[in-house]
Chain A
Amino acid sequence: GQQVMQIPQYQHVQEGEDFTTYCNSSTTLSNIQWYKQRPGGHPVFLIQLVKSGEVKKQKRLTFQFGEAKKNSSLHITATQTTDVGTYFCAGRTNDYKLSFGAGTTVTVRA
């Protein structure tokens, strides 16, 4: 079964508001990656976190890796219509396999 759980499955956001999606693993991860998939498209790499407690920012997106390396979050501030899509986290639990979360599908109300 899926080793990485992601919530919420859906996020409906008013334009300009903030939201957060969360990723949790039952086992310690060596790293965690985040991807974005636009409707009808393919996943595109956003960022990778490796260190315990790591925080990285990309413009309005803030990514965090938990101290125990079992959870991660993506926070988007001032949501725009360009943020529409599905955001996936993917945890690496061994050297060769990535386990993807089910994704958070984001829709934006203008």
Chain B
Amino acid sequence: NAGVTQTPKFQVLKTGQSMTLQCAQDMNHEYMSWYRQDPGMGLRLIHYSVGAGITDQGEVPNGYNVSRSTTEDFPLRLLSAAPSQTSVYFCASSIGAGVMDEQYFGPGTRLTVT
């Protein structure tokens, strides 16, 4: 199993550009989520999904869209990049969203917006 994969590893965007961060998992996990990590802020939840066709907002959803058409994939779209979106983005998955579900994280995407 590859676990949770993310592409690209690094990306530089100009303000106003759009792009999609890819996330895939091969563990048949129902729950997937996106976090951003900024210095001193920990991991903040952007969007999450409890299964194919179901998504919901997290703590910091503005400027981001998600969809979940399959169990395996959970792409994150930046609609119009802003310098405030410079961050490290992590995708995570778990079997479910219950009490006993550990999160498996991908390797991350380092995004710089100039």
Contact = CB atoms under 8 A, between A and B. Distances in A.
Interface of A: 2, 6, 9, 30-31, 33, 35, 41-45, 48, 50, 88, 90, 92, 95-103
Contact of A30 (B42, B59, B99, B106): B99
A100 B44 contact: yes
Nearest to B50: A96
Choose among A43, A48, A92, A95 the residue with the greatest number of B CB atoms under 10 Å from its CB: A43
B56 interface: yes
Interface residues of B, number: 27
A35 B31 CA distance: 18
The 6 closest A-B CB pairs, nearest first, are A100-B43, A45-B102, A102-B42, A42-B105, A100-B42, A96-B97
Interface string B57-70: 01100000000000
Contacts, number: 61
B43 A43 contact: yes
A45 B43 contact: no
Contacts of A98: 33, 45, 103
A49 to B, nearest CB: 11
Choose among B43, B45, B100, B108 the residue with the greatest number of A CB atoms under 10 Å from its CB: B43
B105 A43 contact: yes
Choose among A33, A35, A92, A95 the residue with the greatest number of B CB atoms under 10 Å from its CB: A95
Contacts of B108: 42
